Structure 1
Protein backbone atom coordinates (compact mmCIF):
# COMPACT_ATOMS: atom_id res chain seq x y z
CA UNK A 1 0.00 0.00 0.00
CA UNK A 2 2.80 2.43 0.88
CA UNK A 3 4.49 1.95 -2.51
CA UNK A 4 1.24 2.59 -4.36
CA UNK A 5 0.57 5.67 -2.23
CA UNK A 6 4.08 6.98 -2.92
CA UNK A 7 3.67 6.43 -6.65
CA UNK A 8 0.32 8.21 -6.76
CA UNK A 9 1.47 11.18 -4.67
CA UNK A 10 4.83 11.47 -6.40
CA UNK A 11 3.24 11.08 -9.81
CA UNK A 12 0.67 13.79 -9.17
CA UNK A 13 2.91 16.36 -7.47
CA UNK A 14 5.84 16.03 -9.83
CA UNK A 15 3.79 15.92 -13.02
CA UNK A 16 1.65 18.91 -12.08
CA UNK A 17 4.84 20.77 -11.12
CA UNK A 18 6.47 19.91 -14.45
CA UNK A 19 3.37 21.07 -16.35
CA UNK A 20 3.26 24.36 -14.44
CA UNK A 21 6.98 25.03 -14.85
CA UNK A 22 6.88 24.18 -18.56
CA UNK A 23 3.98 26.57 -19.16
CA UNK A 24 5.79 29.26 -17.19
CA UNK A 25 8.90 29.00 -19.38
CA UNK A 26 6.92 28.83 -22.61
CA UNK A 27 4.67 31.75 -21.73
CA UNK A 28 7.61 33.91 -20.63
CA UNK A 29 9.13 33.37 -24.06
CA UNK A 30 6.38 34.21 -26.53
CA UNK A 31 8.58 33.26 -29.51
CA UNK A 32 8.87 29.68 -28.27
CA UNK A 33 5.17 29.50 -27.40
CA UNK A 34 4.31 30.62 -30.96
CA UNK A 35 6.78 28.12 -32.47
CA UNK A 36 5.18 25.32 -30.47
CA UNK A 37 1.66 26.48 -31.29
CA UNK A 38 2.46 26.74 -35.01
CA UNK A 39 4.43 23.49 -35.24
CA UNK A 40 3.02 20.70 -33.03
CA UNK A 41 5.87 18.40 -34.13
CA UNK A 42 8.03 20.38 -31.65
CA UNK A 43 6.01 19.13 -28.66
CA UNK A 44 8.18 16.05 -27.90
CA UNK A 45 11.32 18.22 -27.97
CA UNK A 46 9.58 20.78 -25.74
CA UNK A 47 8.77 18.02 -23.24
CA UNK A 48 12.40 16.93 -23.05
CA UNK A 49 13.73 20.48 -22.86
CA UNK A 50 11.29 21.36 -20.08
CA UNK A 51 12.34 18.31 -18.09
CA UNK A 52 16.03 19.03 -18.65
CA UNK A 53 15.89 22.76 -18.05
CA UNK A 54 13.79 22.90 -14.88
CA UNK A 55 12.78 19.47 -13.64
CA UNK A 56 10.23 19.14 -10.84
CA UNK A 57 12.58 17.23 -8.53
CA UNK A 58 15.99 18.90 -8.45
CA UNK A 59 17.82 16.53 -6.11
CA UNK A 60 17.61 13.46 -3.90
CA UNK A 61 19.46 12.39 -0.80
CA UNK A 62 21.47 9.21 -1.11
CA UNK A 63 23.56 7.21 1.36
CA UNK A 64 26.93 5.83 0.36
CA UNK A 65 27.08 2.04 0.61
CA UNK A 66 30.87 1.99 0.88
CA UNK A 67 33.78 4.41 1.02
CA UNK A 68 33.84 6.63 -2.08
CA UNK A 69 35.66 9.70 -3.36
CA UNK A 70 33.50 12.32 -5.09
CA UNK A 71 35.22 15.28 -6.75
CA UNK A 72 38.26 14.76 -4.52
CA UNK A 73 36.28 14.46 -1.28
CA UNK A 74 36.54 11.14 0.55
CA UNK A 75 33.29 9.92 2.04
CA UNK A 76 32.86 6.95 4.37
CA UNK A 77 30.18 4.28 4.06
CA UNK A 78 26.89 5.60 5.43
CA UNK A 79 27.52 9.24 4.46
CA UNK A 80 24.48 11.19 3.30
CA UNK A 81 24.94 13.12 0.07
CA UNK A 82 22.63 15.37 -1.90
CA UNK A 83 22.71 14.40 -5.57
CA UNK A 84 21.72 17.58 -7.42
CA UNK A 85 20.89 16.16 -10.83
CA UNK A 86 18.97 19.34 -11.68
CA UNK A 87 22.38 21.02 -11.70
CA UNK A 88 23.80 18.24 -13.90
CA UNK A 89 21.15 19.11 -16.48
CA UNK A 90 22.71 22.60 -16.67
CA UNK A 91 26.27 21.32 -17.25
CA UNK A 92 27.91 23.54 -19.89
CA UNK A 93 30.22 20.67 -20.86
CA UNK A 94 27.20 18.58 -21.81
CA UNK A 95 24.77 21.22 -23.12
CA UNK A 96 25.60 24.25 -25.19
CA UNK A 97 23.86 27.33 -23.65
CA UNK A 98 22.78 25.03 -20.81
CA UNK A 99 20.99 27.77 -18.85
CA UNK A 100 18.76 28.70 -21.80
CA UNK A 101 15.33 27.17 -22.31
CA UNK A 102 15.27 26.14 -25.99
CA UNK A 103 12.63 23.79 -27.39
CA UNK A 104 14.69 23.37 -30.58
CA UNK A 105 17.70 21.95 -28.68
CA UNK A 106 18.88 18.86 -30.59
CA UNK A 107 19.60 15.45 -28.99
CA UNK A 108 18.02 16.29 -25.67
CA UNK A 109 16.67 12.92 -24.51
CA UNK A 110 19.63 11.94 -22.29
CA UNK A 111 19.17 14.29 -19.35
CA UNK A 112 18.81 13.27 -15.71
CA UNK A 113 15.42 14.86 -14.98
CA UNK A 114 13.91 11.48 -14.17
CA UNK A 115 16.99 9.97 -12.57
CA UNK A 116 18.92 7.10 -14.14
CA UNK A 117 19.38 3.37 -13.85
CA UNK A 118 18.00 1.69 -10.71
CA UNK A 119 17.10 5.14 -9.35
CA UNK A 120 15.18 6.13 -12.47
CA UNK A 121 11.61 7.34 -12.07
CA UNK A 122 9.14 4.51 -12.76
CA UNK A 123 6.58 7.09 -13.89
CA UNK A 124 8.80 8.98 -16.35
CA UNK A 125 6.95 7.72 -19.42
CA UNK A 126 3.61 8.67 -17.93
CA UNK A 127 4.89 12.13 -16.92
CA UNK A 128 6.22 12.75 -20.43
CA UNK A 129 2.92 11.63 -21.94
CA UNK A 130 0.86 13.84 -19.61
CA UNK A 131 3.01 16.86 -20.43
CA UNK A 132 2.86 16.08 -24.16
CA UNK A 133 -0.93 15.84 -24.10
CA UNK A 134 -1.23 19.04 -22.05
CA UNK A 135 0.97 21.00 -24.47
CA UNK A 136 -0.88 19.67 -27.50
CA UNK A 137 -4.24 20.55 -25.95
CA UNK A 138 -3.23 24.02 -24.74
CA UNK A 139 -1.54 25.05 -27.99
CA UNK A 140 -4.53 23.86 -30.01
CA UNK A 141 -7.41 25.03 -27.76
CA UNK A 142 -5.79 28.12 -26.16
CA UNK A 143 -3.39 29.42 -28.81
CA UNK A 144 -3.36 32.93 -27.29
CA UNK A 145 -2.60 31.69 -23.78
CA UNK A 146 -0.32 34.13 -21.95
CA UNK A 147 0.73 35.15 -18.46
CA UNK A 148 -1.80 37.46 -16.84
CA UNK A 149 0.02 40.80 -16.59
CA UNK A 150 -2.56 42.10 -14.08
CA UNK A 151 -1.45 39.49 -11.52
CA UNK A 152 1.82 39.20 -9.62
CA UNK A 153 4.78 37.66 -11.45
CA UNK A 154 5.00 33.92 -10.82
CA UNK A 155 7.21 32.89 -7.90
CA UNK A 156 8.77 29.48 -7.50
CA UNK A 157 8.15 27.43 -4.37
CA UNK A 158 10.93 28.12 -1.88
CA UNK A 159 12.21 24.56 -1.53
CA UNK A 160 15.55 22.92 -2.23
CA UNK A 161 14.25 19.73 -3.80
CA UNK A 162 10.73 20.18 -5.24
CA UNK A 163 10.50 22.92 -7.90
CA UNK A 164 7.31 24.44 -9.28
CA UNK A 165 5.51 27.76 -9.55
CA UNK A 166 3.65 28.72 -6.41
CA UNK A 167 0.97 30.40 -8.54
CA UNK A 168 0.59 30.66 -12.30
CA UNK A 169 -2.03 33.13 -13.49
CA UNK A 170 -2.82 33.02 -17.18
CA UNK A 171 -5.32 34.52 -19.58
CA UNK A 172 -6.29 34.02 -23.23
Structure 2
Protein backbone atom coordinates (compact mmCIF):
# COMPACT_ATOMS: atom_id res chain seq x y z
CA UNK A 1 0.00 0.00 0.00
CA UNK A 2 2.84 2.40 0.66
CA UNK A 3 3.82 2.50 -3.00
CA UNK A 4 0.56 4.38 -3.70
CA UNK A 5 0.47 7.36 -1.35
CA UNK A 6 -3.05 8.36 -2.40
CA UNK A 7 -4.41 4.94 -1.40
CA UNK A 8 -2.60 5.03 1.96
CA UNK A 9 -3.94 8.50 2.79
CA UNK A 10 -7.42 7.42 1.73
CA UNK A 11 -7.24 4.46 4.10
CA UNK A 12 -5.96 6.65 6.95
CA UNK A 13 -8.82 9.10 6.44
CA UNK A 14 -11.50 6.41 6.18
CA UNK A 15 -10.95 3.33 8.40
CA UNK A 16 -14.17 1.77 7.05
CA UNK A 17 -12.08 0.90 3.97
CA UNK A 18 -9.78 -1.45 5.90
CA UNK A 19 -11.75 -4.61 5.05
CA UNK A 20 -11.78 -3.66 1.36
CA UNK A 21 -8.06 -2.82 1.54
CA UNK A 22 -7.33 -6.28 2.95
CA UNK A 23 -9.10 -7.91 -0.01
CA UNK A 24 -7.45 -5.60 -2.54
CA UNK A 25 -3.99 -6.24 -1.08
CA UNK A 26 -4.62 -9.98 -1.32
CA UNK A 27 -5.94 -9.69 -4.88
CA UNK A 28 -3.26 -7.35 -6.15
CA UNK A 29 -0.14 -9.08 -4.82
CA UNK A 30 -0.90 -12.29 -3.02
CA UNK A 31 1.87 -13.91 -1.00
CA UNK A 32 1.49 -17.30 -2.69
CA UNK A 33 1.49 -16.96 -6.47
CA UNK A 34 0.85 -20.60 -7.32
CA UNK A 35 1.82 -24.14 -6.53
CA UNK A 36 3.22 -27.23 -8.19
CA UNK A 37 1.15 -30.28 -8.94
CA UNK A 38 1.94 -33.60 -10.59
CA UNK A 39 -0.43 -35.07 -13.14
CA UNK A 40 -1.81 -38.45 -12.08
CA UNK A 41 -2.80 -39.45 -15.61
CA UNK A 42 -2.26 -38.17 -19.15
CA UNK A 43 -4.08 -34.86 -19.59
CA UNK A 44 -4.32 -31.98 -22.07
CA UNK A 45 -4.02 -28.48 -20.58
CA UNK A 46 -4.36 -25.45 -22.83
CA UNK A 47 -3.76 -27.60 -25.87
CA UNK A 48 -0.57 -29.17 -24.47
CA UNK A 49 -0.57 -32.91 -23.90
CA UNK A 50 1.05 -33.95 -20.65
CA UNK A 51 1.89 -37.49 -19.55
CA UNK A 52 1.16 -38.89 -16.10
CA UNK A 53 3.83 -37.72 -13.67
CA UNK A 54 4.40 -34.32 -15.34
CA UNK A 55 5.08 -31.41 -12.98
CA UNK A 56 2.76 -28.46 -13.57
CA UNK A 57 2.93 -24.96 -12.08
CA UNK A 58 -0.59 -23.73 -11.33
CA UNK A 59 -0.11 -19.94 -11.35
CA UNK A 60 -3.56 -19.11 -10.00
CA UNK A 61 -2.57 -15.61 -8.82
CA UNK A 62 -2.52 -14.52 -12.46
CA UNK A 63 -6.33 -14.81 -12.42
CA UNK A 64 -6.35 -11.89 -9.99
CA UNK A 65 -4.96 -9.68 -12.78
CA UNK A 66 -7.34 -10.94 -15.46
CA UNK A 67 -9.11 -7.97 -17.11
CA UNK A 68 -12.06 -10.23 -17.96
CA UNK A 69 -12.55 -10.90 -14.27
CA UNK A 70 -11.51 -7.60 -12.64
CA UNK A 71 -11.93 -4.19 -14.27
CA UNK A 72 -8.64 -2.25 -14.35
CA UNK A 73 -6.97 -5.35 -12.89
CA UNK A 74 -3.48 -3.83 -12.88
CA UNK A 75 -4.64 -0.86 -10.80
CA UNK A 76 -4.50 -1.06 -6.99
CA UNK A 77 -7.74 0.45 -5.67
CA UNK A 78 -9.09 -0.07 -2.16
CA UNK A 79 -12.45 1.31 -3.32
CA UNK A 80 -12.78 -1.54 -5.83
CA UNK A 81 -16.21 -3.13 -5.54
CA UNK A 82 -15.95 -6.75 -4.53
CA UNK A 83 -18.07 -7.88 -7.47
CA UNK A 84 -15.77 -10.76 -8.29
CA UNK A 85 -14.01 -12.91 -5.77
CA UNK A 86 -10.23 -13.06 -6.03
CA UNK A 87 -8.23 -16.27 -5.81
CA UNK A 88 -5.52 -15.13 -3.41
CA UNK A 89 -6.51 -17.85 -0.97
CA UNK A 90 -7.56 -20.46 -3.50
CA UNK A 91 -11.12 -21.66 -3.94
CA UNK A 92 -13.42 -24.47 -2.86
CA UNK A 93 -11.71 -27.58 -1.48
CA UNK A 94 -8.36 -26.01 -2.40
CA UNK A 95 -8.87 -22.85 -0.34
CA UNK A 96 -6.29 -21.87 2.23
CA UNK A 97 -7.18 -23.09 5.72
CA UNK A 98 -5.36 -20.07 7.18
CA UNK A 99 -7.17 -17.43 5.11
CA UNK A 100 -9.24 -16.13 8.02
CA UNK A 101 -6.12 -15.74 10.15
CA UNK A 102 -4.24 -14.02 7.30
CA UNK A 103 -7.12 -11.60 6.74
CA UNK A 104 -7.38 -10.89 10.48
CA UNK A 105 -3.63 -10.22 10.74
CA UNK A 106 -3.65 -7.87 7.77
CA UNK A 107 -6.79 -6.12 9.06
CA UNK A 108 -5.21 -5.57 12.48
CA UNK A 109 -1.94 -4.37 10.95
CA UNK A 110 -3.65 -1.85 8.65
CA UNK A 111 -5.93 -0.68 11.45
CA UNK A 112 -3.03 -0.14 13.83
CA UNK A 113 -0.60 1.43 11.34
CA UNK A 114 -3.18 3.74 9.74
CA UNK A 115 -4.26 4.98 13.19
CA UNK A 116 -0.90 5.18 14.99
CA UNK A 117 1.42 5.90 12.04
CA UNK A 118 -0.60 7.78 9.38
CA UNK A 119 2.65 9.43 8.23
CA UNK A 120 4.15 6.02 7.43
CA UNK A 121 5.81 6.05 4.00
CA UNK A 122 8.58 4.45 2.03
CA UNK A 123 11.94 6.00 2.88
CA UNK A 124 12.86 8.07 -0.21
CA UNK A 125 16.58 7.83 0.68
CA UNK A 126 16.58 4.04 0.49
CA UNK A 127 15.93 1.60 -2.38
CA UNK A 128 12.35 0.64 -3.16
CA UNK A 129 11.21 -2.70 -1.73
CA UNK A 130 12.67 -5.70 -3.51
CA UNK A 131 11.03 -9.10 -3.48
CA UNK A 132 12.77 -12.35 -2.65
CA UNK A 133 13.73 -14.15 -5.86
CA UNK A 134 11.43 -17.14 -5.57
CA UNK A 135 9.01 -18.58 -8.07
CA UNK A 136 6.08 -19.22 -5.76
CA UNK A 137 6.19 -17.18 -2.54
CA UNK A 138 6.30 -13.35 -2.61
CA UNK A 139 7.73 -11.47 0.32
CA UNK A 140 9.97 -8.43 0.54
CA UNK A 141 13.69 -8.83 1.11
CA UNK A 142 13.87 -5.21 2.19
CA UNK A 143 11.26 -2.64 3.14
CA UNK A 144 12.65 0.68 4.36
CA UNK A 145 10.03 2.98 5.86
CA UNK A 146 9.91 6.22 7.81
CA UNK A 147 7.21 8.30 9.51
Using the size of structure 2 for normalisation, the TM-score is: 0.94
Q: For residues 65-97 of structure 1, what are the alpha-carbon distances to aligned partners after superposition, in whole Å with 9 as ceiling and x for unaligned? A: 333221111222322100001111111111111
Pairwise mapping of residues 59-70 of structure 1 onto structure 2 (< 5 A)?
A: 59-70=34-45
- How far 1:109 moved relative to its partner? 6.2
**Structure with a larger share of its residues in strand:** 2
Partner residue of 1:123?
98
Q: For residues 97-149 of structure 1, what are the alpha-carbon distances to aligned partners after superposition, in whole Å with 9 as ceiling and x for unaligned? A: 11111111111661111112222111000000000000000000001111111
**Structure with a larger share of its residues in helix:** 1
Pairwise mapping of residues 87-166 of structure 1 onto structure 2 (< 5 A)?
A: 87-107=62-82, 110-166=85-141
- Which of structure 1's runs of 4+ aligned residues deviate more than 3 A? none
User: Aligned equivalents of 2:94 and 2:40: distance in 1?
Assistant: 14
Q: Does 1:36 align with 2:49?
A: no
Provide the aligned length of Structure 1 versus Structure 2.
147
Partner residue of 1:14?
none
Using the size of structure 1 for normalisation, the TM-score is: 0.81
Is the Cα–Cα contact under 8 Å of residues 45 and 108 in structure 1 kept in the other structure? Answer: no
Is the Cα–Cα contact under 8 Å of residues 70 and 84 in structure 2 kept in the other structure? Answer: no
Q: How large is the RMSD of aligned CA atoms in angstroms? A: 1.3
Partner residue of 1:4?
none
Partner residue of 1:12?
none
Counterpart secondary structure, 1:166? strand
Distance change >3 Å, CA 135–CA 127, structure 1 → 2: same
